[in-house]
Structure 1
Amino acid sequence: MLLDDQLCFALYAASRAVTARYRPLLDALGLTYPQYLVMLVLWEQDSISVRELGAALQLESSTLSPLLKRLEAQGLLRRERRPDDERSVALRLTGTGAALRDRATGVPLAIGDAMGLTPQQDALAKQLLRLVTANVANG
C-alpha cells in the first residue's frame, strides 16, 4: 500500500494544489475559496434560499452561516426573510457583489490554464469526479 497508489491521496493533493493556485487570484478579490464558491452560485442565480445554496454547494447551514455573515459584512450580499415563508432566508447580491463578477471573470481562465487540460480531459475529469462523489455519498 504505497501512498502514491492511493486515489484518496491523488484527490487530496490535487485539491490542495488547485486551492493554492486560487489563493492569489481570490486574495485580489477579497474572497476566500469557500466565499468564491458562494458567489459563483449567486452570480448564476441572484435570489436563492440558504437551503438551496447549501444543496448546490453540498454544505450544511452551520458551515454556510459564518461564510454568509462575512460576505454580508463585506457588502456583497443581503440576507432577507422571505415574505411568503419567514423561516426561509433569501440571499441576494448587492450592487457591489454583482459588480465583483466582472473582476472575477479571469479566475476560471487562469485556473484552466494552470491545469493544462484539453477540453476533453477537462470534461472527463469532471465526469469522473462527479461519479466518485455520487458513489461515495450514496455508498
Structure 2
Amino acid sequence: MDNGVFGYHPVPKPEHKRGKRKRGQETAITAKVDKEVYRRAGEAGYTVCEHCGCSVPRFRFERCHMLNASQYGTGRAPWNIVILCGPRNDNGSCHHWADETTEGRDWKARKQAELYLYYTAGEGRQYWQ
C-alpha cells in the first residue's frame, strides 16, 4: 500500500536550543537575587517587611515582584524584588496591599526606582555587580 502525499513521513527532532527563555525562566527569582534581597531586608540584624517594617508577620514573609511576574518582571535583578508580609491573598497583608491597590502599585513604582538607584549609584553597588 502506497502512503502517497499524505502518508507517514517522520522527521527527526531539531537539535537547536530554544532562542528565548520562557516566561517562568525569566521571572523566577534566582538564588543570588534571593540571597541579596534577604540581606537587604535583614540589615537591622533580622528580616523586616520593607513596607511596614514589622519583624514578625502574621503568617510569613514573601518575595514580591515590583514589576509583576505576569508583566515579565525579572527575578534576576534585586531592585525588582522586595520582602513583604504575606500571604498575597490575605486582605490585611502588605503583599496584598502592594499588588491589589492603586496606592500599593504607586508605592511599588517609587520603591523600585529607589532600589535601582541604591544598586546602580548608591551603597548597594558593593553588594551587587
- TM-score range relative to shorter protein: 0.3 to 0.5
Q: TM-score, normalised by structure 2?
A: 0.33
The higher radius of gyration belongs to 2
The structure in which a higher percent of residues are helix is 1
Q: TM-score, normalised by structure 1?
A: 0.31
